[in-house]
């Protein structure tokens, strides 16, 4: 069995218009939501074997809160350039190439891509994964390349305004 958590980065700060998109930090709400959602995942018993994050500051910062709260070791925290500005097919390729030793993985990234990917695994349409929202996808597959809509489904959604 394989479990994938899609986590959209927490709310970002748009105050400094001179920053490139990839450099935008978290804003005040993001700095509150990220540790709170990370704590919620710990309470829910989530224990990822691996965290992969976009190189965007807002995504890496969000992922860092989860890393600390969930006790993920440094070697199990990877930054992947391909997650930033990815399309759904790119995220699917990343999923297919995850190490088989990892049965539970958290991906930190961006919309609209993460919402599109989540909707590949559910019949209950998700309009939008909000900032710092977490979607859990569980698969009966024995390997990451075998994870598909046929053997996987969204089993939980945790959105800050609904859970905090």
Q: What is the pLDDT of residues 115-134, one digit of tens each?
A: 999 999 999 999 999 999 99
Query: pLDDT (tens digit, 9 = 90+) per residue, 3-62?
Result: 999 999 999 999 999 999 999 999 999 999 999 999 999 999 999 999 999 999 999 999
Q: List residues bridging with 154 in a β-sheet.
A: 137
Provide the residue range defining the domain that includes 58: 2-163
Mean pLDDT score, 93-111? 98
Confidence check: pLDDT of 108 > 80: yes
Closest C-alpha to 28, from 13, 44, 43: 13
User: Where are the alpha helices (H) located in 4-159, listed in sequence order?
Assistant: 28-43, 57-70, 88-96, 113-119
Per-residue model confidence (pLDDT) at position 163: 84
Q: What is the rounded average pLDDT for all residues in the chain?
A: 97
Query: Under DSSP, is residue 110 helix (H, G, I), strand (E, B) or coil?
Result: coil
Domain count, the chain: 1
84 token code pair: 């930033």
Q: Are 64 and 45 spatial neighbours (Cβ–Cβ below 8 Å)?
A: no
> What share of the chain has pLDDT > 70, as a percent?
99
| pTM for this entry | 0.97
Confidence check: pLDDT of 164 > 80: no
- Rounded Cα distance between 125 and 2, Å, is 22
The CATH number for 106's domain is 3.40.50.1240
């Amino acid at each position: 069995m394989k479990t994938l958590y899609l986590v959209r980065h927490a709310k970002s700060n748009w105050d400094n218009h001179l920053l490139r998109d990839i450099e935008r930090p978290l804003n005040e709400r993001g700095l509150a939501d990220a540790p709170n959602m990370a704590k919620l995942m710990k309470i829910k018993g989530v224990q990822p074997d691996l965290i992969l994050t976009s190189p965007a500051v807002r995504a890496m910062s969000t992922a860092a809160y989860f890393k600390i709260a969930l006790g993920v070791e440094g070697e199990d925290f990877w930054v992947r350039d391909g997650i930033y500005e990815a399309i759904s097919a790119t995220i699917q390729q990343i999923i297919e190439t995850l190490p088989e030793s990892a049965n539970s993985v958290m991906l930190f990234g961006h919309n609209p891509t993460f919402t599109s990917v989540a909707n590949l695994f559910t019949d209950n349409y998700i309009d939008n994964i909000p900032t710092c929202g977490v979607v859990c996808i569980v698969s009966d597959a024995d390997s990451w390349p075998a994870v598909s809509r046929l053997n996987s489904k969204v089993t939980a959604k945790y959105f800050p305004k609904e859970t905090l």
